[in-house]
Structure 1
Amino acid sequence: MGAYDGRICYLDGQLSGAAVDEGYSGGPLWSVTDRAAVGLVVGRITAPDGAFSAQHTLRRSWGLGWQSVLRELARVGAAPEHVNGGRERSAATLAEAESVRDMMVGPLHSLLGDPRARADHATVLAAQLTLRAPGDGSAPTVEELAHLLSGTERALPTLAESLAPKVADDPRGRAELDRLLALGRLTEAARLLSVAEHRALVVKLEHLTEHDPGLLPRAATAALPYVDLPRSLQGARLAPSAVPAVVHELEGWYGDGSPVPDESPRLPALLRVVEYVAAETSGDLARQALREWSARVAARLGVHPSALQERRGDADRWSRRSAPAGVRVLVELDRYAKDPADHYRCSVWRLRPDGTPARAASESDRPRTGREIARLIREVAWGAEGAGDGVALVAVSVPPDALELALDEWDGAGAEEYISARLGEDFHLVLRCPKIRRRSRTGPADLKRRWNSRHQSDTLLADHRIGGRAGLIGLLKTTHRDTARVLVHGSTEHRGELLPVCLVMGVPVVLWDRAAPGPNDCAPLDALAPHGPVDGLPERVRHFRVRAYADRVVPARPALVWEDIELPLPDELQLADPSEGTERTG
Structure 2
Amino acid sequence: MGPDDPDRPVKLAHAALHRAGEPLAFGGGVLLAPGTVLTCAHVVNQVLDRPDFAQERPGALDLLAVSFPATGRRRLRAALAAWLPARRADGSPAAEGDVEWSGDLALLRLLDDPGPAALPVGTGPCHAGRPAYAWFGSGAPSSIAAVLVQGVTERWIVLDSTGSAQPVVGGYSGSPLWDRAQRRVVGLVVSRSGLRAFAVPAADLRELFEEAGEAVPGPLGVEDGAHGPMDPVARQLLGPLRSVLTTPEALADLAGRFLAELEAEPEPGPEPATGPGDDRAGVDVGANDARADDAAAIDAGAIDAGADGSGADAGFPASAERLVRLATARPHGAPTLLALLAGAARTQEQQSWIATTALRVCPEQFLTAAEHRELLTLLADGTVPDPRRCAAEALPLGPDLEQAHWPEAVAELERYRPRYGRFPQLLRTVEFAAAAAGPGTARGLGAWSEAVAKRLGLAEILLEHRAQARESAERARERGPQRGAPAPVVQVQLWRATGTEHFSYALHAADARGRPLHRSVRDTPVPRSRLLAELGALLEEVTGQVEPGAVPVVEWFVTGEELDLAVDQWVYRPDELFPGVLGQDFLCVMRSPELRRAAFRPEHRYRWQVLRSGRLALVDRQDPVVQQRGAPVPVCGVALCCPAEEVPRLRAIALAVGVPGVLWLRPADHAIPPDRVRELVHGAAPYQLPRLVYEARLTESPDGLHRNLALVWDSPDGHPETLGLGDPRD
Shorter-chain TM-score range: 0.3 to 0.5
Bigger fraction of residues in helix: 1
Larger gyration radius, structure 1 or structure 2: 1
TM-score, structure 2 normalization: 0.31
**Greater RCO structure (CA 8 Å; 6+ sep):** 1
